[in-house]
Amino acid sequence: MTTTAEELREEVRRRYAESARAVTTKGAAGCGCGSGSCCAGDGAVAAGFGEALYAAEERGELPQLATLASLGCGNPTAVAELRDGETVLDLGSGGGIDVILSAKRVGPSGTAYGLDMTDEMLALAQRNAAEAGVRNVHFLKGLIEEIPLPADSVDVVISNCVINLSGDKAAVLAEIARVLKPGGRIGISDVVAEDRLTPAERAERGSFVGCIAGALSQAEYEAGLEAAGFEDVSVTFTHEVADGMHGAIVKAEKTRDPVRAGLPVVEPAAAAGCC
């Protein structure tokens, strides 16, 4: 039986809701996969996911529940080179670890948005941000394929092991390009396959909600970003999480000249009533 994109999305939502509830009620991450991370299940190497990818000093800046809820495959705030006063958006913000760290990096004159589709994760993130004492954060409910922010409104987009979970990655990359200002950049951690692996071979190594089956290959990621209007694209493997599957750092810059890139010129939308 073929699984639809909506069915996959609901499975991801369910698994991450379970994780948020486990963290809140038991003080330990868990999403029915027994490894402490949704992404670390299904044969992936648990050490390649979660709070261990953050330096001790970074973990020291965060509430314990924020680190326990970390389900990512990297540390995007370490590669995004955030600067004072910038506006940063975290796609699939989960328990808020990267939003809180970003808010501290951009300072009081900057803004950190977190976007998530799971009510339980949003509630946990709000709790963690309040405990961390950060005021320049806004958490939004929505889909990464339909980002509820105006065009040309964000300096940096980060994400931590979430884009691989989307059933429409072209839409995600197009939305990232839409909300970024010209010259804006991405600093994304994701699971990426070696080009030698077919989609069927990726599926053999783990499930879609386990962050494996839905992963793009390195060449597919690069081509997708270029098609969405990005330049200076790089996809760099950092650590192996399964045979031929790697945690990776994805970086790129939105072109400053959409006409030269052959893209439609997007008129800035009215400010969204998000916060």
Distance of alpha carbon 10 from alpha carbon 14, whole angstroms: 6
CB 178 within 8 A of CB 267: no
Q: Is residue 239 assigned to a domain?
A: yes
Distance of alpha carbon 119 from alpha carbon 141, whole angstroms: 8
pLDDT of residue 69: 45
Q: Is residue 168 assigned to a domain?
A: yes
CATH of the domain at 131: 3.40.50.150
CB 144 within 8 A of CB 162: yes
- Beta strands at 230-242 and 111-116: parallel, antiparallel or unpaired: unpaired
pLDDT of residue 38: 45
pLDDT of residue 34: 30
**Regions of the chain with pLDDT less than 70:** 1-3, 23-24, 26-74, 206-213, 258-275
Domains in the chain, number? 1
Distance of alpha carbon 25 from alpha carbon 164, whole angstroms: 28
Residues in the chain: 275
Distance of alpha carbon 109 from alpha carbon 236, whole angstroms: 31
Mean pLDDT of the chain: 79
Q: Angle, to 10 degrees, between the axis of helix 218-227 and the axis of helix 169-179? A: 50
Residue 206 CB partners (closer than 8 Å, separation 6+)? 41, 42, 43, 44, 212, 213, 242, 245
Q: Is residue 52 assigned to a domain?
A: yes
Q: Is residue 262 assigned to a domain?
A: no
Q: Is residue 268 assigned to a domain?
A: no
Q: Is residue 265 assigned to a domain?
A: no
CB 224 within 8 A of CB 235: no
pLDDT of residue 15: 80
pLDDT of residue 143: 95
pLDDT of residue 62: 52
Tokens of 19: 């994780």
Distance of alpha carbon 256 from alpha carbon 245, whole angstroms: 33
pLDDT of residue 47: 44
Tokens of 213: 């089956």
Q: Is residue 20 assigned to a domain?
A: yes
Tokens of 20: 């948020």
Q: Is residue 266 assigned to a domain?
A: no
Q: What domain range is 128 assigned to?
A: 5-254
